[in-house]
Amino acid sequence: MKLIITMILSTCFIAATVAYTLDASCDEHQANMELAMRSAASMAEAAVVQMMNSNVNSQWKSAIDLIFKDKSGDRLEAIGTVKDKQMAGGPLNSNEVIFSCNPDRWVDYADPDTGAKKIGTVWNPEHKVQYEDGKTVMETCKIDCTTLFGSLAKAIPQKECLIGFTVQEYEKTDEQTFLLVDNKRVPAGPAVITICPWYLKLIKSKGSHVITDEWIVKAAKSGDKAVNAIKYALRKKPIDKLSQHFLDVTILHELTHTSFGGDTGDEEDGDNGKGYGWKAVTTLRSTYNADSYAYAGLVARMLNANPPYTVDKDGKLKTF
């Protein structure tokens, strides 16, 4: 199944056409993955509408100023209006995103000419994408973390739990130097986003593929009650219950790692580790951190809920 996405980078109004594909490992999850992809696209679109609105919504401004420093141009650069339509099959290219639902599709890389293995590097032979030093990430994705929603959460190291990962190769002028055009890295092929099997299983059992108004109300009512985090022990704010437990927000996060989605990273926050969760996002206030854009999309979705909600600096959801 291939769907086309039209993404408009709002700062320069340049339209780029990209497509996403679900590979065969996602067959079992196809319907739910498509629903989540559409929801992620809608959240991105809603965020850009808010960002471009000359009559700024005061609730949006208050929330978005917590997420980003006051550099609207920077944050508009990496998030765009996304719409999807059906499209016939075609060759893979650098404007394509491939979703995979099984890390076993990644294998140890061996040089095609010499057969020599590159220690720690894995390769997706189906999509011809290489992931340098990705062996540990791929193996971590195989670990079943469903028990981390319970009392074991505090006993298990964070590094042993992973929701998904994105691999995007970029052109290089030599082994160490990326090719840059307009100060941006040039993609060498399609991005591959792998969603870890345990997470898909959990999402299916909870029915939390997309955020609904009902889920927003439930999160708001949770108040200061600590969230049973996937393992990010510092994700304890009510808004975190919406970010980490929903496939559409996860997909939005991963899409921002791709070249067309802004080439973001997972920034380090000295106090909180990786830049995951409301506390880290509002501490970093970064236009480079992937989770920051996921939360921007989430806030835009909450503002469009019935009733509408916003979020305060402590991560509490409030209607208005």
Closest of 135, 145, 203 to residue 165, by C-alpha: 135
Residue 224's pLDDT band, with cuts at 50, 70 and 90, is low
The mean pLDDT of 21-45, rounded to a whole number, is: 89
Q: What pLDDT, on the 0 to 100 scale, is given for residue 71?
A: 55
CA distances from 201 to 62, 74, 198, 204, 261 (A): 36, 36, 5, 5, 26
Residue 235's pLDDT band, with cuts at 50, 70 and 90, is low
- Give the position of tokens 């080439």: 263
Q: What pLDDT, on the 0 to 100 scale, is given for residue 9?
A: 34
Q: What pLDDT, on the 0 to 100 scale, is given for residue 85?
A: 35
Q: What pLDDT, on the 0 to 100 scale, is given for residue 92?
A: 54
Closest of 304, 267, 309, 302 to residue 288, by C-alpha: 267
The mean pLDDT of 145-151, rounded to a whole number, is: 59
- Give the position of tokens 């941006």: 184
| DSSP state letters, 180-238 | EETTEEPB-S-EEEEE-HHHHHHHHHHT-SS--HHHHHHHHHTTTPPP--SS-TT--ST
For the chain, what percent of residues have pLDDT higher than 90? 34
**Domain over 2-319 is classified CATH 3.40.50.300:** no
Q: What is the mean pLDDT of the chain?
A: 78
Structural domain boundaries in the chain = 2-319
Residue 237 has pLDDT above 80, yes or no: yes
Q: For the full predicted model, state whether its pTM sits above 0.95.
A: no
Our separate counts of H helices and E strands in the chain read 10, 15
Q: What pLDDT, on the 0 to 100 scale, is given for residue 315?
A: 92
Tell me the per-residue pLDDT of 80-122, one tens digit each, with 9 for 90 and over.
433 443 333 444 565 678 899 999 999 999 888 888 888 999 9
CA distances from 197 to 2, 10, 132, 181 (A): 21, 34, 22, 36
Q: What pLDDT, on the 0 to 100 scale, is given for residue 12?
A: 26
Q: Other C-beta atoms within 10 Å of 88: how many?
A: 6
Tell me the per-residue pLDDT of 121-142, one tens digit each, with 9 for 90 and over.
999 988 888 998 899 999 999 9
Residue 149's pLDDT band, with cuts at 50, 70 and 90, is low
**Which range has highest mean pLDDT (165-179, 226-240, 260-274)?**
165-179
CA angle 295, 168, 106 (to 5 degrees): 105
Q: How far apart are CA 239 and CA 310, in angstroms?
A: 10
**Are 40 and 297 within 8 A, CB to CB?**
yes
Residue 31 has pLDDT above 80, yes or no: yes
Q: What are phi and psi of 80, to 5 degrees?
A: -140, 175
Least confident of 49-53, 282-286, 306-310: 49-53
The mean pLDDT of 226-233, rounded to a whole number, is: 42
Closest of 187, 188, 189, 171 to residue 179, by C-alpha: 171
Q: What pLDDT, on the 0 to 100 scale, is given for residue 25?
A: 93
Q: How far apart are CA 133 and CA 121, in angstroms?
A: 5
Q: What pLDDT, on the 0 to 100 scale, is given for residue 158?
A: 47
